[in-house]
A and B are shown apart, each in its own frame.
Chain A
Amino acid sequence: MHGAGEWSRRQVLVYSWVALLLAILGFLVIYPVLTLLLGALTDTNPVVEGVSLSRLSIANFLTVLKNPNVAEALFNTLVVCAGGTLIAVVIGLSFSWIVVRTNTPFKGIIAAASILPLFAPPLVAGVAWSILGSPKTGLINTFFKSAGLDWRVDFYSLSGLVFVFGIYYAPYVYMFTASALRNMDPSLEEAAEISGASAFSTLFTVTFPLIMPAIVSGMLLSFIVMLGIYGVPAVLGAPSNISVLTTYIFKLTNWSPPLYNTAAAVAIILMVVTGCLVVLQQKVLGRRSYTTVAGKAFRPRNLDLGPWRWLTLALGLVYLLVVVVLPTLALIVAAFRKFMFIRDIASLFDMRQYSLMHFDSIFDNPLTLNSIYNAVEVGIITAVVGGTLAFAIGYTIHRTEVAGRGAIDLIATLPVAIPGLVIGVAYLWAWIGIPGGLYGTIWILALAFIARFMPDTVKALSTSFLQIHRELEEAAWVCGRGMLSTLGTIVLPLARPGVIASMTLLFVLAIRELGSSLFLYTSNTMVMSVLLLDYYEGGNIGKTAAFSLVQTVLLGVLIGGANWLSRGTAQGGVVQGIR
């Protein structure tokens, strides 16, 4: 009797929990997406003209589908994202293996290099690579010319885009696969080697298949993130008139008069593409079990590469050079040089051309400090609230059997498919009318970022959940612990690296995010990314570069600090958990 009462009380709790999550998701995701859909199906602004179902038509969709330029933009998008993902997987996976599983010297540097590109906002990456790789004025070509070489590079091309996408989004694959490798019991690999498999075949028959969920998640996420990137193709694609869907959407919103409804229709196409990918991922991952963290202790082991470890180190250094050193040098040159006209190598080293004028002018602008303060505030709110919400959602999806978790998963994944610019309009349309004055505060930005990056955060956390064996939780239950206590003593400490990693990711993404900020910021909530676009659109590459350096240094300091802090507490936390 007592048991039955307990059971039904639990049922009520479970139902209210699911209902609560669905309500939050409804507000953050469903409601804005519906406004967007409505926008795509009408030719009106839902706030201005009101919601009128009588004017529904699929005219926008038909116009969009009939337009050969949309087809071309879609084709370019798929080529660039597929090519970029391929490069990202090769780089990300190689480096996570090198860092976690080998005795390569100076691994710390390689590990840092593998994450660093995340700090670079896409617009900055685009600008840096246009300084380096422009067919006419690029520094790389200037070097070739002065060295008497006949080689030339052209980054204003599809292959240039593929390359830049690939090297910048490799960290997504790296983050997923590195944490999976770290959590994997190496005894499985040892078993393969004892049975006579070579190190190489162990890698492909045991190691990589075991971390397949991480590889697929990282791959899919990097593909999807690339789908939504505006900055890189805007800078590198525009000079040769190469459109991808995001730049096409931006064009539509930027034309005068702006065509938001058509933009919404194009965005829906983007959502369909992404939706298919998500379903594909679930099909691939759904069939097998990937539990590798069980209740047994294991020691991490490093593969002795012998002399080959110098090759892996060299690979790491080349990557560091290409993805960090060269673009940073390009930005430093642009930030300190008065003008970016560089006739030859001698002119590049002409110190009279350099000054602090761009830094003086950005710090002379009162908006600069305001925007930094606002961006950090939004970043922290987004990381803490968004990380907590993502943990709740991730746990519900992966560790419980409650009804409705499929729906939660699907809804939480939706926002990934909507480009920032368009979702910015959707949030503006959806949330401006809410009483209580959300509009005009820092919270509307934070909520938009939480919603927009929920898929990234939930996916990043999922890998941790998938790997923690249920027997650990069951053990706690058997010992008489309740649900919350199990969460606090078992799941949270074990998933802690994942939680901290996702919160850090969320913080970085929030600071970088541009598209959805554009519509939601107001005069006293301007954030860094919006100001950066202002400098770029203002045609001042010097100030853009100077402000990018400021942003990069700031992110580096904040994240370095957070990492250092979390290292201290993580150990204490685990120790306390065991007691």
Chain B
Amino acid sequence: MFGRIVAFAVVAGLGVTLGSAPARADDNVGPPELIAAARAEGRLVYYTSNFAEVEQQVIKQFNKRFPEIRIEMVRAPGGQLITRVKTEAAAGKLIADVVDHSDRALMAELVDLFQDYTPPNAADYNPDAQVSPKLWPRATLVWSIAYNTELVKDPPKTWMDLTKPQYDKLTGQVFAQSGGTTWTRIMFERQVLGEDYWAKQAATHPILYPSGAPMSDALVRGEIAIGPLLYNAIYPKQKDGAPIKIFFPPEGAPVNPYATGIPKTSTHPNAAKLFLNWCLSTEGQTFMIKELGNLTSLKVAPVYPEGFDPKVVKVWYPNFDQYVKLHASWVADWDKTFGYRQ
């Protein structure tokens, strides 16, 4: 056990040094004129559907490098954020300088609101992660399976293990209708793990949660013992010392890239560009991977989250056409299978 901890620490330490050294070297966040203009603007308004606490850390890190730029954040769950953006835009009062959203399909409908924007390291990004050249995968979230080590002595090792009868009434799930990230996971389950995977999993009577955050809290408290969770929802708790173990199952890791852009009406466009350039830079992505438990849509990842071995785990991106077309009918199927009342 001790040996494993040491090995783990060495690997993690290596990751830190490998990750941070080159990050500083090639972190091109834009020409000096852009930085000067951004500093002159001095602030920006940032709309995001990610968790406020998580984004507060991103802003803090950005401010370590650019303390003169104040970022004012508005955080709302996905559906509410879209309504706010649409309504504000229609009334000519969209005050956001950056809009950051987890559901690429909802953002794709609003693409006309956004201006052209390309980060300096655009060529380094995986084109599959984008739905429009104006919208960029600022954050890329990945699914994992987590369990409470105080409660589970014989942990699962794969996605298929979650369907074992021995875990009856011990698991939790985020329901399908909750948003883009969960939709990605249930699509993966049906397309990769088999048509009957949902039914098998539903047979273990999982408790259904509206989002990953309350579910990860329930896992720490022991309300549930096991469940699929977004890595970034549970990783900070493990980092703080909660009795949690997380792993990436070998059948694949469903990945959900965000869509982030700068509205045409932005009144602080230079600050917005600088902030996005930084987030999308190797430095920004490395920070989000290591501190927040994200993945990245960069073709070559600067570093991987703890326990993620790209040789073993294959990331799985949904086909975007199917992501849009299958949504309504598959979610309805899922609701029926899990007895989730609409």
Contact = CB atoms under 8 A, between A and B. Distances in A.
A440 B183 CA distance: 33
A108 to B, nearest CB: 37
A257 B106 contact: yes
* Most A CB within 10 A of own CB, among B78, B89, B91, B95: B91
Nearest to B87: A47
Contacts of A429: 87
B118 interface: no
B245 interface: no
B83 A256 contact: no
Contacts of A272: none
A6 to B, nearest CB: 48
**5 closest Cβ pairs, A-B complex:** A539-B213, A258-B79, A523-B72, A48-B90, A534-B52
B233 interface: yes
A539 B177 contact: no
Interface in B192-222: 207-218, 220-222
Contact of A519 (B84, B180, B218, B241): B84
B87 A538 contact: no
A486 to B, nearest CB: 46
Given A257-B106, A439-B93, A537 B214 contact: yes
A341 B243 contact: yes
A238 to B, nearest CB: 7
B213 A254 contact: no
Nearest to B172: A239
Contacts of B342: 67, 69
B246 to A, nearest CB: 14
B53 A45 contact: no
Contacts of A400: none
Contacts of B339: 241
Nearest to B47: A523
Contact of B95 (A522, A531, A537, A540): A522
A254 B82 CA distance: 10
7 contacts: A254-B78, A254-B210, A341-B150, A534-B51, A534-B53, A539-B214, A539-B233
B79 A538 contact: no
A334 to B, nearest CB: 9
B90 A47 contact: yes
A538 B213 contact: yes
A163 to B, nearest CB: 20
* Most B CB within 10 A of own CB, among A48, A531, A537, A543: A537
A567 interface: no
Contact of A537 (B83, B103, B211): B211
A523 B177 CA distance: 28
A72 B87 CA distance: 32
Interface string A496-538: 0000000000000000000000110111101000010011111
A111 B179 CA distance: 46
Nearest to B97: A523
How large, as a class, is the contact surface on chain A? 35 or more
Interface of B: 45-46, 51-54, 56, 72-80, 82-84, 86-91, 93, 95, 103, 106, 148, 150, 177-180, 183, 207-218, 220-223, 233, 237, 240-243, 339-342
Contact of A137 (B46, B222, B233): B222
A558 interface: no
A241 B341 contact: yes
Given A134-B223, A340-B221, A539-B233, A257 B213 contact: no
Interface string A258-282: 1010000000000000000000000
A243 interface: yes
Interface of A: 45, 47-48, 67, 69, 72, 134, 136-137, 238-239, 241, 243, 251, 253-258, 260, 338-341, 343, 357, 365, 367, 425, 428-429, 432-433, 439-440, 518-519, 521-524, 526, 531, 534-541, 543
A357 B72 CA distance: 25
A432 B80 contact: no
A254 B178 contact: yes
A433 B38 CA distance: 30
A539 B212 contact: yes
Given A243-B341, A541-B221, A254 B51 contact: no
A425 B76 CA distance: 13
Contact of A339 (B89, B207, B220): B220
Contacts of B242: 338-339, 341
Given A255-B178, A432-B91, A432-B93, A260 B150 contact: no
B84 A241 contact: no
A539 B223 contact: no
A537 B82 contact: no
B180 A256 contact: yes
A254 B79 contact: yes
Contacts of A531: 52
A541 B80 contact: no
B214 A523 contact: no
Contacts of B91: 47, 432-433, 439
B51 A253 contact: no
Contacts of B177: 251, 255-256
B150 A238 contact: no
Given A239-B218, A255-B179, 16 more contacts: A47-B87, A134-B221, A134-B223, A136-B222, A137-B222, A365-B53, A367-B52, A367-B73, A429-B87, A439-B93, A531-B52, A537-B51, A537-B214, A539-B51, A539-B217, A543-B53
Contact of B223 (A137, A339, A433, A439): A137
Contacts of A47: 86-87, 90-91
Given A136-B223, A341-B242, A432-B93, A540 B77 contact: no
A258 B56 CA distance: 26
* Most A CB within 10 A of own CB, among B88, B180, B211, B242: B88
Contacts of B76: 518
Given A425-B83, A523-B72, A540 B178 contact: no
Nearest to B49: A256
B272 to A, nearest CB: 13
B74 A523 contact: yes
Contacts of A440: 93, 95
A543 B52 CA distance: 12
Contacts of A137: 221-223
A537 B74 contact: no
A341 B222 contact: yes
Given A67-B342, A537-B51, A258 B72 contact: no
Contacts of B221: 134, 137, 339-341, 541
Contacts of A367: 52, 56, 73
Given A238-B209, A538-B51, A539-B213, A256 B103 contact: yes
B155 to A, nearest CB: 16
